[in-house]
Amino acid sequence: MPASAFFAKAAVSTLLLPPTNGLLLILAGAYWLRRRPWPGRILIGTGAALIYALSMPLVANALMGTVEPAPLADAALADSDAIVCLGGGKRFGAYDEPGGEAINNATLVRLRYCARLARKSGLPVLVSGGAPLGGVAEARLMAASLHDDFGVTARWVEAASDDTRDNATLSARILLPRHRRITLVSQAWHLPRATQAYRDAGFTVHPAGTDYANREPFSLLSLLPRSSALHASSVALREITGQVWYNIRRS
């Protein structure tokens, strides 16, 4: 993917998702407040209510529930020819690591689950992730962590992809036709879109979700705003929007 397209997609995503979407409504309302008071007040109120609602754990968990698949079954793992672990990002300011770059927490969680599945099944592993923002490719950092931290060696390293569609397309060049049935490891919320991309690339996919959303028992605290809940809502809405856009491109 060209760098301009990557940054354009990221910018549009930021504008459509919380809290920016609510803030834009509030700014629009403030602009109209003197010219047309009632529309201005409605926009400000709507923006504030949107941010508040999406900051509630109750709402965030409901949104996450629409995108997270069921956990991987043992039979699905046994039916696979390989495990594919998707990169979830890296840290540039990793001053505690040689070279100043390291996988981020999301990728680390994926690798931990991938390593567990690899040891359990004996299946070969492909790690996938490029460097859309520059520096060392995620997949190379992932392979190093998988080996050094979890004692599992990745057989394949796909280090040129910029997004999920690229992950699937470039993984297909490496694995197909021999390794068609795959267990696909990623955060649970990311798997619906990722699964569709890999199926379109020619794979039979068994989604292997990890890092499911935290669902505390309901209490009055579930109605109070939290920054973590706002982040979860943003992640879920980004995936829902991504699925819609992906289906439009496929049609």
| pLDDT at residue 109 greater than cutoff 90 | yes
State how beta strands 82-86 and 90-91 pair. Answer: unpaired
- Give me the mean pLDDT over the 148-165 stretch: 96
| pLDDT at residue 3 greater than cutoff 80 | no
| pLDDT at residue 245 greater than cutoff 80 | no
**Rounded CA gap, 86 and 139, in Å?**
8
Q: Write down the mean pLDDT value for the chain.
A: 92
- Give the DSSP H/E element, type plus range, for residue 128: strand 125-128
**Rounded CA gap, 89 and 87, in Å?**
6
The answer to whether the beta carbons of residues 108 and 140 sit under 8 Å apart is no
Ordered domains of the chain (ranges, CATH): 3-66+224-239 (no CATH), 74-210 (3.40.50.620)
| pLDDT at residue 2 greater than cutoff 90 | no
The whole-number pLDDT of residue 9 equals 64
Using one digit for the tens of pLDDT, what is the confidence trace for 18-76? 889 999 999 999 999 988 999 999 999 999 999 999 999 999 999 999 999 999 999 99
State how beta strands 102-103 and 90-91 pair. Answer: antiparallel
The answer to whether the beta carbons of residues 168 and 137 sit under 8 Å apart is no
Mean pLDDT is lowest, of 5-19, 88-102, 115-129, 214-228, for 5-19
The whole-number pLDDT of residue 5 equals 59
